[in-house]
């Protein structure tokens, strides 16, 4: 996994979207997980949570995940 972060600073007064994070190894455009947060660490944590949810969904679809 190769996580790339970006400080985006959108032109809006809300600061909780200032950072974004993607996994360069799996990112392939729209629909790919993108973490966001007020800080770089929050964006990374959000991305990791999304990637884990996606992994669990794939396991459930294959019947390999026990809730």
Of the candidates 65, 18, 10, the residue with the CA atom closest to the CA atom of residue 42:
18
67 lies in some domain? no
Quickly state the pLDDT bin for 57 (edges 50, 70, 90).
confident
pLDDT of residue 47: 97
66 lies in some domain? no
What range does the domain containing 13 cover?
Answer: 3-61
- Number of domains observed in the structure of the chain: 1
Of the candidates 56, 65, 1, 10, the residue with the CA atom closest to the CA atom of residue 37:
10
Query: Does residue 63 carry a pLDDT above 90?
Result: no
DSSP letter for 46, please: H
Q: Can you give the C-alpha Rg of the chain in angstroms?
A: 14
Phi first, then psi, for residue 48 (nearest 5°) are -60, -40
28 lies in some domain? yes
Query: Left, alpha or beta for 46 (phi > 0: left; psi -120 to 50: alpha)?
Result: alpha
């Amino acid at each position: 996994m190769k996580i790339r972060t970006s400080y985006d600073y959108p032109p809006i007064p809300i600061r909780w979207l200032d950072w974004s994070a993607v996994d360069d190894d799996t990112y392939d455009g729209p629909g790919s997980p993108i973490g966001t947060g007020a800080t770089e660490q929050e964006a990374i944590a959000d991305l990791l949570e999304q990637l884990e949810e996606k992994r669990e969904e794939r396991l459930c679809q294959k019947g390999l995940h026990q809730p």
